[in-house]
Amino acid sequence: MTFRITKKFEFSASHQLAGLPAEHQCARLHGHNYVIELELAADDADLLPVGFVRDYGDLSAFKVWLDNHLDHRHLNDVMETNPTAEHMAAWIYRTWSVEFPELTSVSVSETPKTWAEYRP
Ligand SMILES: Nc1nc2c(c(=O)[nH]1)N=C([C@H](O)[C@H](O)COP(=O)(O)OP(=O)(O)OP(=O)(O)O)CN2
Ligand SMILES: [Zn+2]
């Protein structure tokens, strides 16, 4: 049996997507109130003795990183790739899967209607 836990985090940032037609709305400078969802998983045999996959509180380190690196930033200045939701999800996964080996997916929402998930 596998247990999965998730936690959501929010930040605000601007971006401008390259490679789109000039008339595309996302080719213009604009911003989003982003929501990031981290998913972590563990088999029942690997649960911590208390019964956690990992303490939700441990993920506060990720919130500190978001606040310091992405919140109220221009994402084109922070990321080396075009700052699409897909690229952000993969970048965050690769950055944080070392600190959190139980990390199984990262999802990025730019608007209440859209989510991009990276699940290697
Ligand atoms: N697959 C992706 N498509 C789009 C991305 C993306 O990162 N991955 N990004 C954008 C824009 O940055 C922005 O998110 C606009 O999204 P969209 O949902 O098209 O914009 P609206 O909220 O204005 O959509 P409505 O349908 O008018 O509500 C675009 N596409
Ligand atoms: Zn956008």
Instruction: Give the DSSP letter of residue 21.
Output: -
What are the tens digits of pLDDT across the range 84-98? 999 999 999 999 999
The whole-number pLDDT of residue 99 equals 97
CA of residue 115 to ligand 2 center, whole Å:
12
Q: Grade residue 22 by pLDDT with cuts at 50, 70 and 90.
A: very high
The whole-number pLDDT of residue 83 equals 98
Closest ligand (CA of 85): 1
Number of domains in the chain: 1
CA of residue 19 to ligand 1 center, whole Å:
14
Which ranges in the chain belong to alpha helices (H)? 60-69, 75-78, 85-96
The whole-number pLDDT of residue 41 equals 98
**For the domain that residue 109 is a member of, what is the CATH number?**
3.30.479.10
- pTM (two decimals): 0.96
Domain span at residue 100 reads 2-118
Under DSSP, is residue 44 helix (H, G, I), strand (E, B) or coil?
Answer: helix
Closest ligand (CA of 19): 1
* Residue 85 CB–ligand 1 contact under 6 Å: yes
The whole-number pLDDT of residue 93 equals 98
* Residue 35 CB–ligand 1 contact under 6 Å: no
